[in-house]
Amino acid sequence: MIRPLQNSDSQGWRQLWDDYLAFYRTRLDEQTTEATFKRLCDRVDRMHGLIALDDEDHPIGFAHLVLHPSTWAKGSYCYLEDLFVAREARGGDTARQLILAVYQQADKAQASRVYWHTQEFNAPARSLYDQVGHRTSFVMYER
């Protein structure tokens, strides 16, 4: 089951979040993690959190999205900022279902585009992304 993230999901989300950060070999300070969870639950700044639960209501994945205006559209775009599925739940349909739930949120908000990025080496995720979206020619830069 996939549903909006709730304050009561704190412990399960936190374990997934820590695993997600470890996957990308990064760390965040506690204040940033706490603020992120609060913003996702409260839907502040048009940020939304979705959580995937197994049959026993144990968190097994999440998706975080940000709705934002665009200079290229009258309405909003939807940025899928984070997507993660616990190792023991991979290989099933959870990631696809999370992406489809993001699409539903974007449609509900009348966002004309959903987009995301991943690292080049993330072949398992890219295999799914090739099925549910299309790769663009854009290259990402950052400061």
Sheet holding 113-115, edge to edge: 2-4, 47-53, 59-69, 76-85, 113-115
pLDDT confidence of 51, banded at 50, 70, 90? Answer: very high
In Å, what is the CA distance from 58 to each residue of 37, 53, 62, 80, 88? 18, 5, 12, 22, 12
pTM of structure: 0.92
Q: What is the pLDDT of residue 140?
A: 83
Contact between 134 and 113 (Cβ < 8 Å): no
**Model pLDDT for residues 62-115, shown as the tens digit of each residue:** 999 999 999 999 999 999 999 999 999 998 899 999 999 999 999 999 999 999
